[in-house]
Chain A
Amino acid sequence: MSEFLQQLLNGLSLGAIYALIALGYTMVYGVLRFINFAHSDVFMVGAFIGYYMGKLVPEGTLWGGLAVLGAAMIGCALLGMTIERLAYRPLRSAPTLNVLITAIGVSLLLEYTGQVFFGAAPRNFPAIFPVRNFSLGNVIISSNQVIVIVVSVVLMVVLQLIVYRTKIGTAMRAVSLNPKAAILMGVNNDVVISFTFGLGSALAAAGGILYALNYPSIDPLMGVMPGLKAFVAAILGGIGNIPGAALGGLILGTVETFVSGSQFSTYKDAIAFAILIIILLFRPAGLLGKFTVEKV
């Protein structure tokens, strides 16, 4: 029993990180109908901003950790908005395939520029937050897990409030439902799209910091696998659906953790993708997605 709880806790904290990344994929898909493959590299840049900022604050303090987290989120929000402005906006009326290929190009650009600047060798991520272990019976909770869960819950609640309670959030949903009608309301769609990239990238940065706290070896290609999993999570939840991305992330992280703790651990990635295929066979639009015909 206690082993089950331990694994569940580990799984949920990994899943929360996937969820944070998945939200960015799903929000950008919502407003622009394409998969931003460079998103996983924004996650990596978030971890590196954390690495360098971590040197400027004393290790192991709560305020220092939060400051690093905030800096990475702001840095990546700016990065995401810049990528959108320079790479995607000029292609607004181009076919989706062109945009997808550009996104892969931006992804490679970030990965290899990262190798030039940071080197290809892994680095040790500093312990920016205080480290302690708490034990509840036989279940051990590390302070990093608490931070992962608290930070992701807070960010998801804030995101929910932005998307459902603010004017710009309503505009985001309107643009995603019908961009032409949104323009006719006086919405400047470029501003909304830029805001969406900023928001998604900030969440990816938070994901990058939280991931690096728990797997403290970072390198310029570190975004690839978690990015792929988060992408799967977004599809699993129903691409374009915000609660779906969060749910998909939690499910994927939990399943992956349980599989790696079992005798099938070498197949953990294969099993994650097998689940995706099975769920999509039964629910082609994802768990919370609605099946819609693409309007032209």
Chain B
Amino acid sequence: MLTVTDLSVSYGAISALGGISFSIPQGSIVTLIGGNGAGKTTTLRTISGLLRAKTGKIEFLGEDITKLPAHKIVARGLSHVPEGRMIFSNLTVDENLAMGAYLLHDKELLAKNREYVFSVFPRLNERIKQMAGTLSGGEQQMLAIGRALMGSPKFLMLDEPSLGIAPRLISTIFEKIVEINRNHGITILLVEQNANLALEVSSSAYVLETGRIVMQGESKQLRTDPQLKATYLGG
């Protein structure tokens, strides 16, 4: 579904990604793990068009999207739930969801997507008129994911959905991520520092270290890899 070839990105003179390649098959959950500053966020932002690649190619559903402006990439069905959630704090939950469906012109589909989002996150329905900035961290993450689902995405990229959320809620969010993938057939690229959880829900994984992919394979196998265990899985 998504193929990234030899992608490199730099911020001015600082190189953040040094030629990475990976591919994500349709219907799967793939995870990208790595420590602080490894380049995970940079990867997602380049795929969604917020950053420009220095070299390399990004193909989505067979189409080269490397040079497409970000709003056109969203229109292709690729949705990015950014790091730090970036909900619209002074808009209501309802208006945030409406923004998620900005490109949708089919009223029936919009109503269907709303129903679906509320079935996944009933909490959002209870808070519909509330200002998004007053939601709890976990609720804001639900809203960020719900907002992305409103646009009928084919492919969802999640940047550290566990960041700043109470441990109790993290497992709920991860269950929902799996549910979205299973029941709705949405392909997912999950970026996480919490490698344990990410390897549990994903089918395959890539490990990023200072802008390079240093390890890749099936999540099941990586979970027992001694080297990975030592670095990312807390022994």
Main SS at interface, chain B: loop
List, in ascending order, chain B residues with CB within 8 A of A296's CB. none
Beta-carbon contact of A182 and B99 below 8 Å: yes
- Which listed segment binds B: A49-57, A71-79, A169-177? A169-177
Residues facing A in B77-110 (CB within 8 A) are: 79-80, 82, 86-91, 95, 98-100, 102-103
Give the segment of B2-10, B67-75, B183-191 that binds chain A.
B67-75
* Residues of A155-214 contacting chain B, CB below 8 A: 167, 170-171, 173-174, 177-178, 180-189
Decide: B90 and A173 in contact? CB cutoff 8 A. yes
Report the nearest B residue to A181, measured CB to CB: B86
Q: Closest residue of chain A to B133, judged by CB?
A: A177
One of A170, A177, A178, A181 near B98 (C-beta < 8 A): A170
Instruction: List chain A residues, Cβ under 8 A from B90.
Output: 173, 177
Contacts of B100 in A (CB 8 A): 185
* CB-based contact B91/A177 at 8 Å: yes
Given A171-B102, A184-B79, CB of A177 within 8 Å of CB of B89 = yes
Question: Which residues of B lie under 8 Å from residue A173 when comparing CB positions?
Answer: 88, 90-91, 95
Q: What residues of chain A lie closer than 8 Å to B98, measured between beta carbons?
A: 167, 170
- CB <8 Å contact, B102 and A187: yes
Q: Is B151 an interface residue (CB 8 A)?
A: yes
Contact assessment for B103 and A174 in the assembled complex, using a CB-CB cutoff below 8 Å: no
Among candidates A170, A183, A185, A188, residue contacting B147 with C-beta atoms closer than 8 Å: A185
**Distance in angstroms between the alpha carbons of A170 and B92 in the assembled complex:** 10
Q: Are B91 and A184 in contact (CB under 8 A)?
A: no
Cβ–Cβ contact A183 & B91, under 8 A: no
- For the complex, count residues of A whose C-beta is within 8 A of B: 17
Do B74 and A186 touch (CB < 8 A)? yes
Number of residues of chain B lying within 8 A (CB) of chain A: 25
* B70 and A184 form a contact (CB under 8 A): yes
CA distance A188 to B74 in the complex (A): 11
Q: In the complex the two chains form, what is the Cα distance from A10 to B103 in whole Å? A: 46
Tell me if B71 and A174 are in contact (CB < 8 A): no
Q: What is the 8 Å Cβ interface bit string for chain B, positions 168-202, against chain A (1 contact, 0 not)?
A: 00000000000000000000000000000000000
Whether the Cβ atoms of A183 and B99 lie closer than 8 Å is no
Task: Say yes or no: B87 contacts A184, CB within 8 Å.
Answer: no
Asked if A180 meets B86 with Cβ closer than 8 Å, knowing A185-B100, A185-B102, the reply is: yes
Contact of B50 among A170, A183, A186 (CB under 8 A): A183
| Least distance between A117 CB and chain B CB atoms (Å) | 38
User: Is A178 within 8 A of B70, CB to CB?
Assistant: no
Question: Given the complex of chains A and B, what is the CA–CA distance between A173 and B50 in angstroms?
Answer: 20
Query: What CA separation (Å) do A241 and B62 show in the bound complex?
Result: 45
Quick one: given A170-B98, A171-B102, A180-B86, are A186 and B91 in contact (CB under 8 Å)?
Answer: no
* B-side contacts of A181, CB under 8 Å: 82, 86-88
Question: Which of B69, B74, B79, B88 meets A178, CB within 8 Å?
Answer: B88
Quick one: closest B residue to A178, CB to CB? B86
What is the 8 Å Cβ interface bit string for chain A, positions 244-288, against chain B (1 contact, 0 not)? 000000000000000000000000000000000000000000000
Interface core residue of B90, B100, B102, B151 (most chain A CB under 10 Å):
B102
A178 to B89, CA, bound (A): 9
For the complex, what is the distance from the CA of A189 to the CA of B70, rounded to whole Å? 10
Contact A170 B87 (CB under 8 A): no
In the complex, chain A residues whose CB is within 8 Å of the CB of B103? 185-186
Q: Are A170 and B95 in contact (CB-based, < 8 A)?
A: yes
Query: What is the chain A residue whose CB lies nearest that of B96?
Result: A174
List the B side residues contacting A180 at CB < 8 Å: 50, 82, 86
Q: Is B48 an interface residue (CB 8 A)?
A: yes
Q: Establish whether residues A186 and B102, one from each chain, have CB atoms under 8 Å apart when the complex forms.
A: yes
With a CB–CB cut-off of 8 A, which chain B residues contact A187? Answer: 71, 99, 102
Further pairs besides A173-B90, A181-B82, A185-B103: 20, Cβ < 8 Å: A167-B102, A170-B95, A170-B98, A170-B99, A171-B99, A171-B102, A173-B91, A174-B91, A177-B91, A178-B86, A180-B50, A180-B82, A180-B86, A181-B87, A183-B49, A184-B48, A184-B86, A187-B71, A188-B69, A188-B71
- Which A residues contact B (CB, under 8 angstroms)? 167, 170-171, 173-174, 177-178, 180-189
The 5 lowest CB-CB distance pairs between A and B, nearest first, are A186-B74, A181-B86, A186-B103, A183-B70, A185-B102
Question: Can you list 5 A-B contacts with CB-CB less than 8 angstroms, sorted by A residue number?
Answer: A178-B88, A184-B50, A184-B80, A184-B86, A186-B75
- Residues of chain B touching chain A, judged by Cβ–Cβ distance below 8 Å, are 48-50, 69-71, 74-75, 79-80, 82, 86-91, 95, 98-100, 102-103, 147, 151
